[in-house]
Amino acid sequence: MGERILLQGSHVIAEAAIRAGCRYYFGYPITPQNEFTEYMANALASLSDGVFIQAESEVAAINMVIGVSMTGRRVMTSSSSPGISLKQEGISFLSGQELPAVIVNTMRGGPGLGNIAPAQGDYFQATRGGGHGDYRNIVLAPGSGQELADFTRMSFEYADRYRIPVIILGDGMMGQMMEPVEFPEPIDPGSLPEKPWVLDGAKGRHSRIIRSMILDASAMEEHNWRLFRKYQMIEREIPQVELFLTDDARLVVVAYGTASRIAKGAIKRVREMGLKVGLIRPKTLWPFPKGPLLELSRVVTDFLVFEMSTGQMVEDVKLSLEGRRRLHFYGRPGGIISTPDEIAKVINRIYFKEGL
Amino acid sequence: MKRVFGRPRSMKDAVFHYCPGCGHSIIHRLVAEVIDELDIREKIICVPPVGCAVLAYNYLDIDMGEAPHGRATAVATGIKRALPDRIVFSYQGDGDIAAIGTAETIHAANRGEKITVIFVNNGTYGMTGGQMAPTTIIGQRSTTTPGGRNLDRDGAPLDLSEMLAINNGSVYIERTAVDSTRNIIRTKKAITKAFRVQMEGLGFALVEILSPCPTNLKMSPVQASKWISSKMTTCFPLKVIKDKIARL
């Protein structure tokens, strides 16, 4: 490990991607994530094997990603909510064709054009696939500058390991914040293991086909079940959480990304008042960390989901708890950033109302 | 015995699913022959379209990566940028390249992507059953222009190749047809040149091929070919539209 560097969040992801051996980036300008695209433009221009194209559209960008991914190289794109909607057809194709790719979504207020303020309204879109068809994406939700670096490295590894699109879900707050970061050692793209399924010209072999069209219904069904078994394997292998002050907690807040940082501030405040409150922070949104949540629910009676939306992840928490425990929700959509005091008040109200 | 005719090495031993008289079978074979003659089978990658020719991978024995509808030149851009020493081409129909994929095509040409495009123009959406295409000519009946394409209501047929010729990055664009033996031979020459342009790293090359779709024209194969020479070529004249490198 190297030195600690102070960098803004969007630059951390970009630098971490290059250190993960990503030499191909395709993107389209959209606020609030232009710093990311610009960093990639500069960094890739200075590398002899770097390729950067400012695409004519979000649609073209994701399709350039598909092309590079077919050759087995590490590749990524990024955008913000409306742009991610435009990429969904391509993400569905990546899933059907089992191609690895990394996609960063700096979420903003919506629906429609919305605004450019931090929000978490794309949770459903990211965790339910987002495009057409029966598929899932791996969705990572970093919660600190260091995690932006670590999760970016992890996202390329997961994408290659499972041949799946990986979405890094953040917002403008995560993209702008400056925190000290220690980057992992850079990977030489040439040293990455060869992928046996790539298109590279059929030298000494018959043709190789990468496709998602399977006209025969029983073959299509088998493809769907094969993808499903892969998703089951991912659900077993990678769910991750952070537990914060949960050992003696009577009320546990569930929050991710920017919301989890606000929640931590609130929990510190209510702890000072003697309230036994903790936090469970999903680091993977899909697969949703059902296991750790169920484990906590053996002793914790009350859960409060806090999201910067009108309530999306709360449905996964509800599905995980299956009605065993009381579930509360507090959300602020549209780009409103709650203060820790505001959340502390919500915690207080629930804590005393439920007689904890 | 001297072998005078056979299946090109770059073709699989498979029976075409294409309708009798469809131009795709001819064009597939021409592409395969050119690949063999240029000896590039082991370094070529094709991006097939969405449309009848999506099944090109059942016939061409070369690496193939399927693109979403209209996005073939964007996918081809990604492949070519990652593997600049390979030969990358898209094979697209008129709906794919000149309607839903217009933006990707124009920008790939304008960037001067060093790819080859085989653009099969049959004036209809074949796979979906004969709807109006961007290249359906005025007066031509389709399932969505039952009284014939109307200039006021539907606009004029899109002359994509001429539009692409204006782009700085395109170096060779030719329109041919497969309606006669003579034109089939010309088409093969054009395909050969379009690949050679890429092999020499010169820029974007496209061959537009007018191709019969007897099924949706509701004509016999012979009538459909005659319709190309008598009607379609008046709207889409056969010619070299752009050639920055006449020496090839």
Indicate the pTM of the whole model.
0.97
- Say yes or no for a CB contact (<8 Å) between B62 and A202: yes
Q: A60 and chain B: CB distance < 8 Å anywhere?
A: yes
Residue with tokens 């969405």: B50
Provide the shortest C-alpha distance from residue B75 to chain A (in Å): 4
Chain-centroid distance, C-alpha A8: 18
Measured between beta carbons, the chain A residues lying within 8 angstroms of B62 are 201-202, 207
**Percent share of chain B, pLDDT over 70:** 100
> With 60 as the cut, is the pLDDT of residue A1 above it?
no
Measured between beta carbons, the chain A residues lying within 8 angstroms of B86 are 200-201
pLDDT of residue A346: 98
Option in A70, A90, A204 nearest B79 (CB): A70
Option in A51, A90, A201 nearest B81 (CB): A51
Provide the shortest C-alpha distance from residue B168 to chain A (in Å): 16
- Say yes or no for a CB contact (<8 Å) between A207 and B47: no
Chains A, B: CB pairs < 8 Å: 135
> With 60 as the cut, is the pLDDT of residue B236 above it?
yes
| pLDDT band with cut points at 50, 70 and 90 for residue B143 | very high
- Say yes or no for a CB contact (<8 Å) between B107 and A204: no
Option in A56, A97, A209 nearest B103 (CB): A56
Mean pLDDT of B44-58: 95
Mean pLDDT of A322-330: 96
> What pLDDT, in 10s, does the model give residues A213-227?
999 999 999 999 999
Q: A68 and chain B: CB distance < 8 Å anywhere?
A: yes
| pLDDT band with cut points at 50, 70 and 90 for residue B142 | very high
> What pLDDT, in 10s, does the model give residues B83-126?
999 999 999 999 999 999 999 999 999 999 999 999 999 999 99
Choose the mutation target among B28, B60, B83 for the interface with A, i.e. most A CBs under 10 Å.
B83
Domains of chain A plus CATH, in order, are 4-201+225-237 (3.40.50.970), 242-353 (3.40.50.920)
In terms of CATH architecture, what is B23-243? 3-Layer(aba) Sandwich (3.40)
Nearest-by-CA chain B residue for A210 = B65
**Percent share of chain B, pLDDT over 90:** 96
- Say yes or no for a CB contact (<8 Å) between A53 and B63: no
Q: A192 and chain B: CB distance < 8 Å anywhere?
A: no
Amino acid of residue B23: G
Option in B65, B68, B82 nearest A210 (CB): B65
Q: A187 and chain B: CB distance < 8 Å anywhere?
A: no
In B24-125, the DSSP E strands lie at 44-47, 63-65, 87-93, 116-121, 124-125
Give the start-to-end residue ranges of the domains of chain B.
Answer: 23-243
Nearest-by-CA chain A residue for B45 = A201
Option in A67, A93, A212 nearest B78 (CB): A67
> What pLDDT, in 10s, does the model give residues B182-205?
999 999 999 999 999 999 999 999
Angle, in degrees to the nearest 10, between helices A88-96 and A58-70:
20
Option in A24, A63, A204 nearest B67 (CB): A63
Q: A93 and chain B: CB distance < 8 Å anywhere?
A: yes
> What pLDDT, in 10s, does the model give residues A38-96?
999 999 999 999 999 999 999 999 999 999 999 999 999 999 999 999 999 999 999 99
Q: A76 and chain B: CB distance < 8 Å anywhere?
A: no
Nearest-by-CA chain B residue for A51 = B81
Measured between beta carbons, the chain B residues lying within 8 angstroms of A206 are 61
Q: Over chain A, what is the mean pLDDT?
A: 97
Mean pLDDT of A159-183: 96
pLDDT of residue A3: 87
Residues forming beta bridges with residue A304, ordered by sequence position: A253, A328
SS (H, E, C) chain A: CCCEEEEEHHHHHHHHHHHCCCCEEEECCCCCCHHHHHHHHHHHHCCCCCEEEECCCHHHHHHHHHHHHHCCCCEEEEECHHHHHHCHHHHHHHHHCCCCEEEEEEEECCCCCCCCCECCCCHHHHHCCCCCCCCCCEEECCCCHHHHHHHHHHHHHHHHHHCCEEEEEEEHHHHHCEEEEECCCCCCHHHCCCCCCCCCCCCCCCCCEECCCCCCHHHHHHHHHHHHHHHHHHHHHCCCEEEECCCCCCEEEECCHHHHHHHHHHHHHHHHCCCCEEEEEECEEECCCHHHHHHHHCCCCEEEEEECCCCCHHHHHHHHHCCCCEEEEEECCCCCCCCHHHHHHHHHHHHHHCCC
**Percent share of chain A, pLDDT over 70:** 99
Nearest-by-CA chain B residue for A202 = B42
pLDDT of residue B2: 87
B-contacting residues in A 233-252 (Cβ below 8 Å) = none
pLDDT of residue B55: 92
Q: A196 and chain B: CB distance < 8 Å anywhere?
A: no
Choose the mutation target among B66, B69, B127 for the interface with A, i.e. most A CBs under 10 Å.
B66
H or E segment and range at residue B36:
helix B23-38
Structure tokens of A227? 């993808």
- Say yes or no for a CB contact (<8 Å) between A67 and B54: no
